[in-house]
Structure 1
Amino acid sequence: MSLAQQRECKSSDDVLASYMNKDKLYIHYQPIVDLHKESVIGYEALTRFPPSAYFKSPVELFQFADQTNRLFQLEKHTRELAIDSIIPHLQERQQLWVNLTPNVIHDDSFTPGFTHTILKNTGLNPDQIVFEITEHSAISDYQSFRKLLEHYRKQGFKVAIDDVGAGYSSLQMISELKPDYMKIDRSLITHINQFREKQYMVEALQQIGKKLGSGIIAEGVETDGECLHLIQMGISLMQGYYFAKPDYPPPPLPKSISEQVKLQGYSQMFPLKIDERTTFSELMTWISTYMGSYDNYFALIQGKGVLPLTEVVRFVVSHSTKTKETVWSHLRSWFT
């Protein structure tokens, strides 16, 4: 090794060592929630550090570690930090989600098994750890990486693919790795309630997940409309600022959000309300613009109860010539 190379290695060692100081790197956690169970099922560990002259983001730090053949050293450090920090807060049935960079297997110092060793004295079980592989990661050797994942799975660990739908390699990565979870990228989730094209894409991923037995998680949920539409599509696992920003200690599911989702979920079952002034024309317009499901959804009939939406459609079709009339008198006879 030349003197210049020795200086470069020493310099990169010094830089990385400074970031692995306990006062420099820290972990924030963002909850992953299950709205059907109204609970937090796990936390994603996110590496953070104060503003730096060297790197603008953790992504740049990990890229630097990869380029200098120190990726395993950095990943091991951050994973130990994430596990140590979460122990007082992680409940028995909750999971910790940690990043796994595919390129780590090419690091000269890489040795599998260190995560299992870390867990021995923590009280955590391997099935509480989910290795999260970003879709942006380039996997040059699927055969070797699959073997690594098989090793982890035999120990009880779970595997997730992050950012699904953000790049061109999603389908190959899904088919090759057969993940336990697929996290749908926020680019498909943002304003999903307003764009049918995004809905079609997410529906397709739902079908793939169903065939493979993979759980579907929506990332980047930020609004009521997005949350409600995802519930309507049958997606209950979500993550995003709508629930909590990354923080430490790990943030719980806010009670106000839990109560709000419960109320919204209830009201979502009754997307249509009919009263004495409702006309057939208004019902026809509503049916033509309604984008939700008809199965297990109802119309609230003022003072009379509920009517399945499928029955509402039959009712309107059977009175298709009465567009300008109110529905009330005809609806009474329909009920009797």
Structure 2
Amino acid sequence: MSLAQQRECKSSEDVLASYMNEDKLFIQYHPIVDLHKDNVIGFEALTRFPPSASFKSPVELFQLAAQTNRLFQLEKHTRKLAIDSITPYLQKDQQLWVNLTPNVVHDDSFTPGFTHTVLQNTEVNPDQIVFEITEHSAISDFQSFRKLLEHYREQGFKVAIDDVGAGYSSMQMISELKPDYLKIDRSLITHIDQLREKQYMVEALQHIGKKLGAGIIAEGVETEGECHHLIQMGVSLMQGYYFGKPDFPPPPLPRFISKQVEQQRNNHWFPLKIDEHTTFSELLRWTATYEGSYDHRFAMNDTPSGKEVLALTEVVRFAASHSEKREEPIWPHLQSWFT
């Protein structure tokens, strides 16, 4: 190494060292929600720092750490910072998601067991920690990295693959690492309520996740339409600005989300509403335009006699078999037929 290169390396190390101070680096948390439970189930830890002339983003900081063989040192610093700062806020049924760079195993200073040691001084359990592996990170040594993940799993930690569907070697990474969660990249989520091609891709990933026993998380959800369509597709785990931006302390789920989701869930399971004025012809017109599933869906019969839940397939079959009564209200006939 030339004298100039030595000086540059020393300068880079000094810059990196200056950032590994609590005054320079801090953590914000991005909520991950489960809309079946209307609750925040976890927080992704995101490294942040004040505006800087040296780095435009934390990604550049981690790239420098990798180049100067100090990646593990930086990951240890940010991971401890994330765990320590969220400990007063993390509930027992919530998880902390932290980044794990695959090539950290090649860092000369790498030794397993650091995270477990940090947790011993907190009330956070290993099964509350999810190591998030970005799909943008090319893994040069699957065998070594897989052994590392096996070590973490033996201690109770979980594993997620981030940015699934964004490119690179997703399928190989999924098959080799067998993650507990697949986080679908926002490129497949944006406008999913309008683009069938994206719906097909997410459906395929849902099928893969089901076969592997991995949970599916939709990233980058930003609109009500995207959220509601994902619910209709059976995706309940989501993350995105629609639910809250990264912040500290960890942000709760906004109240308006719960009300919207409850209404959407009702529309999902009860797509047909029948009142005392609904006629046979109106029901048949509804059937002709309905594009959803009939399996495990119901009609809500809300009439003066009370509310009744009826199997959607049975109601449609009944209406079709009595089409001659087109302008008559259907509810008295349904009432006598089902009783």
Same fold, TM-score > 0.5, yes or no:
yes
Correspondence for 2:51: 51
TM-score by length of 1: 0.90
Over aligned residues, Cα RMSD in angstroms? 2.2
Correspondence for 1:228: 228
1:155-304 paired onto structure 2 within 5 Å? 155-274=155-274, 283=283, 286-301=286-301, 303=303
Change (3 A) 1:55 1:319: farther
Question: Aligned partners of 1:271, 1:31: CA distance in 2, in Å?
Answer: 30
Whether the 8 Å contact between 2:275 and 2:331 is mirrored in structure 1 is no
Question: Aligned partners of 1:188, 1:200: CA distance in 2, in Å?
Answer: 10
Correspondence for 2:72: 72
Correspondence for 1:111: 111
Question: Aligned partners of 2:131, 2:225: CA distance in 1, in Å?
Answer: 30
Residue 318 of structure 1 pairs with residue 321 of structure 2? yes
Q: Deviations over 1:57-99 (max 9, x none)?
A: 1122212222222211211111111011111111122111000
Whether the 8 Å contact between 1:189 and 1:220 is mirrored in structure 2 is yes
Shift of the alpha carbon at 1:333? 3.1
Whether the 8 Å contact between 1:232 and 1:293 is mirrored in structure 2 is no
SS of alignment partner, residue 30 of structure 1? strand
Question: Aligned partners of 2:136, 2:285: CA distance in 1, in Å?
Answer: 43
Correspondence for 2:85: 85
SS of alignment partner, residue 192 of structure 1? coil
Change (3 A) 1:279 1:196: farther
- Aligned residue type for 1:133: I
Q: For structure 2, which runs of at least 5 residues remain unmatched after alignment?
A: none
Question: Aligned partners of 1:312, 1:11: CA distance in 2, in Å?
Answer: 75
Whether the 8 Å contact between 2:280 and 2:330 is mirrored in structure 1 is no
Question: Aligned partners of 1:103, 1:287: CA distance in 2, in Å?
Answer: 55
Whether the 8 Å contact between 1:270 and 1:298 is mirrored in structure 2 is yes
Correspondence for 2:312: 309
Question: Aligned partners of 1:279, 1:197: CA distance in 2, in Å?
Answer: 37
Q: Deviations over 1:119-174 (max 9, x none)?
A: 11112211111100011110111111101101111111110011111114111111
Shift of the alpha carbon at 1:319? 5.4
After the TM superposition, which of the residue ranges 225-234 and 162-171 deviates more from structure 2? Answer: 225-234
Matched residue pairs, number? 333
Question: Aligned partners of 1:96, 1:72: CA distance in 2, in Å?
Answer: 19
Change (3 A) 1:51 1:29: same
SS of alignment partner, residue 234 of structure 1? coil
1:139-158 paired onto structure 2 within 5 Å? 139-158=139-158
Q: For structure 1, which runs of at least 5 residues remain unmatched after alignment?
A: none
Whether the 8 Å contact between 2:278 and 2:331 is mirrored in structure 1 is no
SS of alignment partner, residue 194 of structure 2? coil
Question: Aligned partners of 1:188, 1:315: CA distance in 2, in Å?
Answer: 40
Question: Aligned partners of 1:311, 1:168: CA distance in 2, in Å?
Answer: 47
- Aligned residue type for 2:211: K
SS of alignment partner, residue 132 of structure 1? strand
Correspondence for 2:10: 10
Q: Deviations over 1:88-113 (max 9, x none)?
A: 11112211100001111112221121
After the TM superposition, which of the residue ranges 47-56 and 290-299 deviates more from structure 2? Answer: 290-299
Question: Aligned partners of 2:86, 2:221: CA distance in 1, in Å?
Answer: 23
- Aligned residue type for 1:12: S
Shift of the alpha carbon at 1:114? 1.0
SS of alignment partner, residue 40 of structure 1? strand
Change (3 A) 1:57 1:284: farther
Correspondence for 1:42: 42
Q: Percent identity?
A: 78
Question: Aligned partners of 1:287, 1:143: CA distance in 2, in Å?
Answer: 54
Shift of the alpha carbon at 1:179? 0.3
Question: Aligned partners of 2:324, 2:191: CA distance in 1, in Å?
Answer: 37
- Aligned residue type for 2:17: A
Change (3 A) 1:238 1:3: same
